[in-house]
Amino acid sequence: MSDQPTWHGTTILTVRKGGIVAVGGDGQVSIGQTIVKANAKKVRRLAKGEVIGGFAGATADAFTLFERLETKLEQYPSQLMRAAVELAKDWRTDRYLRRLEAMMIVADKDITLILTGTGDVLEPESGIAGIGSGGNYALAAARALADGPLDAEAIVRRSLDIAADICVYTNRSVTLETMAST
């Protein structure tokens, strides 16, 4: 297994701009070259709505990780960084969790983080992050649009649309959540 996993089958993007954080994702679920679902919801609210999370990778694995993150957020209320670091420790060291194949973007009013099974808890410098097979396309589009007049939600929508033009594992059925940020 490679040190850097490659996830196919989705695009998740987050943008912070103008006091808003937006997290969006497409809805396509593919098995190999076959689309099995077009409207999956890969972005959801956690921690009583205080955190937005999006996932790329195996769906059951991502749900397991969301549940574990919820538990960590209950242990460390309003401390997303601490909860994410504790989850990353478990993810990397636990025999069962180590096998999970997913990546996550999580955001609250203060920070945005990318979490991986290799123990990474990364805070993007620009407040913009993308994961999944179309993540780099959406990330590039969002960075190009960030200095323009569009707000965070519009940047995410436009960037996901651009990614869908390029990545065959990304569609235009978008789930998007926003919240006020600091």
Active-site positions?
10
| 20 neighbors 107 (Cβ within 8 angstroms) | no
Please, which residues bridge with residue 10 across strands? Answer: none
Alpha-helical runs (H) found in the chain: 59-75, 80-93, 95-98, 135-145, 152-166
Distance (Å, whole) CA 72 – CA 87: 7
Number of other residues whose CB lies within 10 A of the CB of residue 144? 13
Distances (CA, A) of 113 to 2, 81, 93: 22, 8, 20
Distances (CA, A) of 93 to 17, 19, 68: 35, 36, 14
Number of other residues whose CB lies within 10 A of the CB of residue 110? 13
